[in-house]
Amino acid sequence: MIENSQPKPKTIQPVAPQTKHVSLVTRPRKILRGVLAGLAIITIYSLATLNNGNLVFADAFKSLGVNLNAMFLHPGVGQDTFGQLLRALVTSVSLAMLTTLLGAVIAFFIAVGAARNLAPSWLATTIKAVMAFIRAIPTILWVLIYSVVMGLGASAAVVGLTFHSVAYLVKAYSESIEETSQDTIEALKASGVGFWPIVFQAILPSIVPALLSWTFIRFEINFANAVAVGAAAGADDIGYFLFMAGSFYFNFHEVGLIVYLLLAVAIVLELVSMKLRGHYLKHN
Amino acid sequence: MKTSFQSPQQFFRQRRLRLSVVLIILIGIYVTSMALVNFQTWTSIAKIPAGLIWLFHNFIPTERSISYLGPILYQLWRTLLVSISSTIVASLFALIFAILGAKTTTPSPVFRIVIRFGASLLRNIPVVAWAMILLFSFKQSDFTGFLALFFMTLGYLTRAFTETIEDLDAEKLQALQAVGANYFQCVFCGVLPEAASTLTSWVLYMIENNLRDATLVGLLTGTGVGFLFDYYFKSFRYDAAGLIVLLIAILVILLELTSTQIRRAIA
């Protein structure tokens, strides 16, 4: 007989698995936190030791407010005429276009030599290293250096800007070329197609959208640089007028007007780039 | 492409036509801008080799320029500090604006429009104009350079951060809301941890960029290594100026390599 008072029969309890501590803090997270902490410490140190030239901040910000008011709410032409400023603006845009076009053409041919799937690896490495060095030096320094060699004026600005554009675009273009699949190139090589036909008939058509979008990005950069460079090289463009109005005549009304003109160009550029990107995204 | 071609011949003819039209337009743009800028292509290109030779002749640092190394390194260090700190401070503000302005986390559409517009305004005012406006109020000090870089970076990072946050999965946010998380929990436990590594790589990119721009800002506001370059350059001490160029290039390349490493580690 089995009675209730009998000791319970042995049952096999499943052993609960050892609880393992799962941490959300993975290695990348730790590195991320370390980097952010490091940057925060550098920032605090830098802000604490920042040389502020014994400024009275309240006064400085008040005068900034007055200047901004003069700039943005009361723009005027100053001692130059509106026509002169427009002409200078056109010069700036042309400067950007010229350097971008020149840079793009030169950069494409260099990029063919810098792409690992087309050129021998020693050549690609050398070109990439040289371009990295040119890119690392700010555009403005190139322009200043060339303004000594060629004299002040447009030529120095064009050559300096082109130099930096080429270095920037070679990197972008060669990376786009390297994305073309090796199979395509090998198939064409096997069927006896020469080097340049491969480049122009197979690779170029497949990377046109990437090239266009990089070139347009560079155009925007070049426009900003053209303004900055005009101030330094005296290329007679809008940057020069900006520099004269801001640093020699202290005419903030004119600075405001020039900033408005530049904003208008920037808005147009942004709209064009949105259209361009939309167009190519749709087709590809 | 929608156009259908009857024969390969027609396809190639069409293609050749389109190519030549594009080429003619590009050449037209080139010639027009050349005339407008008053730039002579061939004479300038012919001068480039001579320029490079002159460059290597005069800009190679000599033993004499070693004596300038102290002040140059100090200013380079200051410039690096200013570019890092302006980026970090700007990124804090940009993060707040981006959360308020992104489509998925905005409290009201009005914020979104105002922030977009403001960021675009800050981004498109050229750094030259910033430097001049600020120089007038803040005089020749590191703080002027800091502010000029700060405003520009704020514009760029607000846009980059907004787009990063908008690219995140909206469904995760909805799931969090469905289980009853409030707005702050959604933002701090849902959005930020996921976006953190992308946001950090944007910050690293901006630091690189700012180091380059800091030279230009320094040139215009009379601070940092840019001013030192201008000073040596204008007093014809080209070897010292060349030393600065070399050191800037080395610093930029080092920074690029470091941030590539960090980006790979946190991805």
Residue A19 phi, psi (nearest 5): -70, 125
Query: Cβ of B220 and A231 within 8 Å?
Result: yes
Whether the CB of B39 is below 8 Å from some CB of chain A: the reply is yes
Query: Cβ of B44 and A262 within 8 Å?
Result: no
* Chain A residue nearest residue B77, CA to CA: A46
SS3 A22: coil
pLDDT of B120 reads 84
The alpha carbon of residue B176 is apart from the nearest alpha carbon of chain A, in Å, by 18
Which strand (E) or helix (H) includes residue B22? Answer: helix B8-37
Low-confidence ranges of chain B (pLDDT < 70): 1-5
In chain A, % of residues over pLDDT 70 = 89
DSSP state for residue B189 in the 8-state scheme:
I
Whether the CB of A85 is below 8 Å from some CB of chain B: the reply is no
Of the candidates B43, B88, B226, the beta carbon closest to that of A43 is on: B88
Domain-wise residue ranges, chain B: 8-59, 63-266
* Pair B201, B128: CB distance under 8 Å: no
Of the candidates B54, B142, B233, the beta carbon closest to that of A149 is on: B54
DSSP state for residue B109 in the 8-state scheme:
H
Q: Is the pTM of this model over 0.90?
A: no
Q: What is the distance between the alpha carbons of residues A159 and A143, in angstroms, rounded to a whole number? A: 7
Q: What is the distance between the alpha carbons of residues B264 and B197, in angstroms, rounded to a whole number? A: 10
Q: What is the distance between the alpha carbons of residues A185 and A205, in angstroms, rounded to a whole number? A: 13
pLDDT at A282 over 60: no
Q: Which of 142-171 (A) contact B at CB < 8 A? A: 144-146, 148-150, 153-155, 158-159
**Averaged pLDDT for residues A114-132:** 88
pLDDT of A284 reads 47
Q: What is the distance between the alpha carbons of residues A7 and A11, in angstroms, rounded to a whole number? A: 12
The alpha carbon of residue A8 is apart from the nearest alpha carbon of chain B, in Å, by 44
SS3 A109: helix
The alpha carbon of residue B104 is apart from the nearest alpha carbon of chain A, in Å, by 21
The alpha carbon of residue A231 is apart from the nearest alpha carbon of chain B, in Å, by 8
- Residue A2's pLDDT band, with cuts at 50, 70 and 90, is low
Residues of A in Cβ contact (< 8 Å) with B1? 283
- Residue A235's pLDDT band, with cuts at 50, 70 and 90, is low
Residues of B in Cβ contact (< 8 Å) with A257? none
Query: Cβ of A94 and B139 within 8 Å?
Result: no
Q: Which of A38-47, A69-78, A159-168, A237-246 has the lowest mean pLDDT?
A: A69-78
Query: Cβ of A136 and B216 within 8 Å?
Result: no
**Averaged pLDDT for residues A32-47:** 88
Whether the CB of A31 is below 8 Å from some CB of chain B: the reply is yes
Q: Please determine, for the modelled complex, whether the ipTM score is greater than 0.90.
A: no
pLDDT of A169 reads 92
Q: What is the distance between the alpha carbons of residues A202 and B230, in angstroms, rounded to a whole number? A: 47
The fold of the B63-266 domain, in CATH, is: MetI-like fold (1.10.3720)
pLDDT of B264 reads 86
Q: What is the distance between the alpha carbons of residues A252 and A237, in angstroms, rounded to a whole number? A: 18
Residues of A in Cβ contact (< 8 Å) with B197? 28, 32
* Pair B83, B211: CB distance under 8 Å: yes
* Chain B residue nearest residue A149, CA to CA: B51
Query: Cβ of A31 and B262 within 8 Å?
Result: yes
Residues 6+ apart with CB under 8 A from B109: none
Query: Cβ of B266 and A35 within 8 Å?
Result: yes
SS3 A262: helix
Whether the CB of B128 is below 8 Å from some CB of chain A: the reply is yes
Query: Cβ of B128 and A243 within 8 Å?
Result: yes
Of the candidates B40, B128, B138, the beta carbon closest to that of A231 is on: B128
Residue B38 phi, psi (nearest 5): 65, 55
Whether the CB of A257 is below 8 Å from some CB of chain B: the reply is no
Structural domains of chain A, ranges and CATH numbers in brackets: 76-283 (1.10.3720.10)
pLDDT at A277 over 80: no
Q: What is the distance between the alpha carbons of residues A179 and A185, in angstroms, rounded to a whole number? A: 12
pLDDT of B93 reads 93
Q: Which of A38-47, A137-146, B54-63, B156-165 has the lowest mean pLDDT?
A: B54-63
The alpha carbon of residue B107 is apart from the nearest alpha carbon of chain A, in Å, by 27
The alpha carbon of residue A9 is apart from the nearest alpha carbon of chain B, in Å, by 44
Give the HSE-up count for residue A168: Cα atoms under 13 Å, Cβ half-sphere.
Answer: 24
